[in-house]
Amino acid sequence: MKLLRLSKNCQLFSERFPSNSLRNASHGISLNVLDGVLYSGSNLANRIKLNVLQEVTEIKKSDENFVPKFVAIAVGQNPASRIYLERKKEAADACGLVSKVIHLRENISETYIVNLIQEMNKDASVHGIIVQLPLPAHLNEIHVCNTVHPSKDVDGFTQTNLGKLMQVFRI
């Protein structure tokens, strides 16, 4: 049974398998599986987008100047990353968020990206930052991702946010 875990609500959803026991024939391993629930990812995504839109609308009622914004940093010309970022922009638009993508050349220096992220960390108009992975091989993904302030870490890739997630989901 595979479990999809949602960090905010700490809810567990799972996919139902035909039986309550799985056996890996090649390794002779048996697993007992609890009954699960089949959950539609697209329905969940639509509910989340609706909830975010409602939250943004409520905040704007008390602060009409509030403009939630996230910035994505993409390095190089990865076609899959471009498609992924287009989908993120569509989701942001549906939620009432402003999104901006900064496209950087493949051979950009790590120092440049780190400085750019540090500036966005200080920018009060930026509420979220995404570092689009994968990064080119000459860049240290761990260092670059951990430059994002945890409060602006949209993907949850900083060591701080991953650690918090692991504390919630103790096995």
72 and 141 belong to one structural domain:
yes
Residue 1's domain comprises: 1-39
- For residues 104 and 22, state if they share a domain: no
User: What is the count of structural domains for the chain?
Assistant: 2
Do 72 and 88 touch, CB atoms closer than 8 A?
A: yes
- Asked whether residue 31 carries a pLDDT value surpassing 70, the answer given is no
Is there a single domain that holds both residue 101 and residue 160? Answer: yes
Asked, for residue 60, whether it belongs to a domain, the answer is: no
Is the domain of 156 the same as that of 74?
yes
140: CATH? 3.40.50.10860
Residue 58 is assigned to a structural domain of this protein: no
Domain shared by 141 and 76, yes or no = yes
Residue 46: inside a domain: no
Is there a single domain that holds both residue 99 and residue 150?
Answer: yes
Per residue in 118-160, pLDDT tens? 999 999 999 999 999 999 999 999 999 999 999 999 999 999 9
Q: What is the structure's pLDDT at 72?
A: 96
Tell me how far apart the alpha carbons of residues 120 and 129 are, in angstroms, rounded to a whole number: 8
Q: Is residue 153 part of a domain?
A: yes
Of all residues in the chain, the percent with pLDDT exceeding 90 is 68
Q: How far apart are the C-alpha atoms of 113 and 136, rounded to whole Å?
A: 12
Whether a cis peptide bond, with omega within 30° of 0, leads into 79 is no
Q: Which two tokens stand for residue 33?
A: 């599986």
Query: Are 72 and 27 found together in one domain?
Result: no
pTM here is 0.73
- Does residue 7 sit in the same domain as residue 74? no
Please give the C-alpha separations between residue 23 and each of 3, 26, 29, 60, 66, in angstroms, as whole numbers: 17, 9, 6, 53, 53
